[in-house]
A and B are shown apart, each in its own frame.
Chain A
Amino acid sequence: MKRLKTFVLLATAMMSVALVADVSAQRRRGDRRGETITMAGSTTVLPIAQKTAEAFMDQNPGVNISVRGGGSSVGVAAIIDGTVDIGNSSRPITTKELALARSKGRFLKEIPVARDGLAIIVHKNNPVENLTLAQVRDIFMGKINNWSEVGGPNMPIVVVSRDTSSGTFETFKEKVLKGGKVKEGAIMVAANQAVLTTVRDTPGGVGYVGVGFLTDDVNVVAVNGVKGSQESVQRGTYPIARKLYMYVNGEPQGTLKRYFDFLLGPEGQRLVEEVGYVRVK
């Protein structure tokens, strides 16, 4: 019992010291690192992070922002461990990750910074106007191989997809394929523009691009009755869409707050559209 009392007293004393020390350490850290922001995580969020970081640093010469990818899980793990200031993620944090963060004394704050939507596009002469999400999945997985099976002309379907390392493909995989694989023989290209060009030039072609990249050279097919556009993504009615997040520890302060004010303000959101995503507000 005496030993237990000693343990408890020691613990209370240490926690008191820790509270005081942590407040002053945070203040010191703010002074020392107030001009440095580190972020890591989702490759989908990476273009937004890079573009806005560059613009923010241009306007704030004393600030240095370092950005790296690694994936959403990496970003969330890094912010939980406290090794970065911002964890980027293209998915909401899981309950398990939230519990881990709480157990480590982290007050994680979720900040949606953009929306990501993928429009399904076909050749200009293709009369197909609407597909169900299941049909889109079956087409890209090779279970449906002719446009006649979905109300179109008797013409083989030519699937155009992004390479598997891209954030765009990551969104498509999550929202459409759901564990399935793109059919063998699909045309794999490296950029949204390449998808547009290939579908434009291929009568039987079908592909997907960020809604920010749409042009009049191709037809946009509605999915479950809703056409992919910036408006439908922002309204939340389009099925192939998701929010993109940044996670921070506690309420942003100092330089971090200024960065988020910039990112969520008019100029930051304009940059979000510039890299092919949709404003969050």
Chain B
Amino acid sequence: MKRLSVPVCALGLVALTAGSGGAQLQELRVGGEIWNRWEMRLNGLTAAALTNKDFARTNFASSLAARVVHSRMNVERGYLDIRPKFTDTLSGRFTLDFDNSIGTANPVSLSSPRVVTTVSITTQRVTVTNSVTNWRVVERVTISTSRSAVSASPSGWSRPRIKYAYLTWKTPVPDLEVEAGVTKTYFGSLYDWEYLTIEKDAVDRSGKAKSADASVALIYQLPLGYGQVAGQIAHGEGYASAANVHPAYIADLRLIPLPGITLGGAYRYQYVGNTTAPATRSQMTNYKNEHMYNALLRVDYGFVAFHLQYFEYNISRSGQQKDASYLSEVFWHSLLALRLRQFIDQDLELVGRVDYKRSTDASLWQGKPDGRISTHVGLNYGFAPNDRGQPQFLIQANWTRDQSEVGFGLPEAKACRLSGWNQAYDLFQLQLRWRFSATIKG
């Protein structure tokens, strides 16, 4: 097994069954998903090209080659998903997310020695009966680590991270569930984004809210399938960071007034305390209350799916009577997917997406608008469906164009001159996602 380098402490997971009356493992579902990706990024025009009056007549190929930032293949993500079902009302989910240094901007330094933590995962089926308590251990999955110092290595790293680790309890109140642990974040599209494009969900992409967090969540299904309400108290910084001692409070509402039409609204509040200087969240003085708002509309009917989402992030000053927001960011997201399965009997989708990030007040005041518009065009092809009819293999091809909102729609040279440092870039991506799962009955 390949050695893994991890930054976390030792983990352990044990499944117990009782001889009688206690929680038993009714079922265990084990699955995984791998994302193999090729990606090429082309940066926008260079300063030299901008100043070259004859730029349009320069050699296109050499210009193109000079703009390539990277062209790489990578295992972008790997998920190992374990879902035990203890009883009819108690189940769990444990998902490991494997990533690696290839996709990061700053891989580990080659000169510094490192402490390497080795992770091993073993499964063992044992039956031990205790005659006093009549408890039996019948299944054991152990994840253990050991640490050792090694000298600098020229290779990068890969690591597992906890994506989800929570229990779900179906309460005696019909359609009310409680989740506790490292759960999904029930805010906007964070918890049900289906990756119709390779790019992640708009809220996740903004970096303002994490898609998973240590939390306790209450989720209630509205009667007759009219939607869902969720309330959550979360750590607020993602499971890995302890930067803020104040929790985040989240409320999310989904309404489905008609089949195919979904309306959503969400609000998140967190007290972030004093910081030192403006312009970023971690550099603001006397800015204390972080607010996030989300509204979404989804229309899914026939062969068309359309999504529209608005997301606002701001930090307000305490003690101010009006115009309390200083740092405010606004995001718009729209997506259109055309499912061609109805016409050609192949699981083929065409997807178009536009994300718009409005320039922040701070950037405008500084004369350096930082608004961005990204356009994504893609194609999804699924094949080899499983017993649920979902494709086990999915090929995705995407082209992304990301550029400053200043001068949007203008020829690139002029747009870049107007936007200055916010040059455009193009991203070409080809991805193969494959998944597998097996259910072991207790």
Please report A residues at the B interface, Cβ cutoff 8 Å.
3-4, 7, 10-11, 14-15, 17-19, 21-22, 25, 28-29, 40, 68, 70, 74, 77-78, 81-84, 94-107, 141-143, 164-165, 178-181
Contacts and interface: CB of A to CB of B under 8 A. Distances in A.
Given A21-B302, A28-B343, A102-B256, 8 more contacts: A7-B308, A22-B304, A29-B342, A40-B389, A78-B387, A95-B224, A104-B300, A105-B301
Contacts of A14: 304, 306, 336
B221 interface: yes
3 A-B pairs closest in CB distance: A83-B389, A22-B302, A98-B225
B43 interface: no
A96 B221 contact: yes
Contacts of B303: 18, 21-22, 25
B54 interface: no
Interface string B284-321: 00000000000000111111101010000000000000
Interface string B394-406: 0000000000000
Contacts of B306: 11, 14-15
Q: Decide if the interface of chain A is mainly helix, strand, loop or mixed.
A: helix
B283 interface: no
B442 interface: yes
B225 A95 contact: yes
B26 A99 contact: no
Contact of B228 (A3, A18, A99, A164): A99
A7 B297 CA distance: 12
Contacts of A21: 302-304
Interface string B51-75: 0000000000000000000000000
A103 B20 contact: no
27 contacts: A4-B332, A10-B336, A14-B306, A15-B299, A22-B342, A25-B302, A70-B388, A74-B388, A77-B389, A81-B390, A83-B390, A94-B221, A95-B222, A99-B226, A101-B225, A101-B259, A102-B225, A102-B256, A103-B259, A103-B298, A105-B301, A106-B259, A107-B259, A143-B20, A179-B88, A181-B24, A181-B442
Nearest to A16: B304
A74 B387 contact: yes
Nearest to A75: B388
B227 A141 contact: no
A19 B49 CA distance: 48
Interface in B86-112: 87-88
B334 interface: yes
A262 B334 CA distance: 46
B199 interface: no
A68 B390 CA distance: 15
Contacts, number: 122
Contacts of A178: 88
B125 interface: no
Contacts of B301: 15, 18-19, 22, 105
A18 B303 CA distance: 7
Nearest to A99: B225
Contacts of B304: 14-15, 17-18, 21-22
B387 A70 contact: yes
B2 interface: no
Nearest to B391: A83
Interface in B305-352: 306, 308, 332, 334, 336, 342-343
A105 B300 contact: yes
A81 B342 CA distance: 12
Contacts of A29: 342
A99 B388 contact: no
B356 interface: yes
B262 interface: yes
Contacts of B385: 83
Contacts of A7: 308, 332, 334
B256 A95 contact: no
A11 B298 CA distance: 10
Contacts of B262: 103
Contacts of A97: 225
Interface string B346-376: 0000000000100000000000000000000
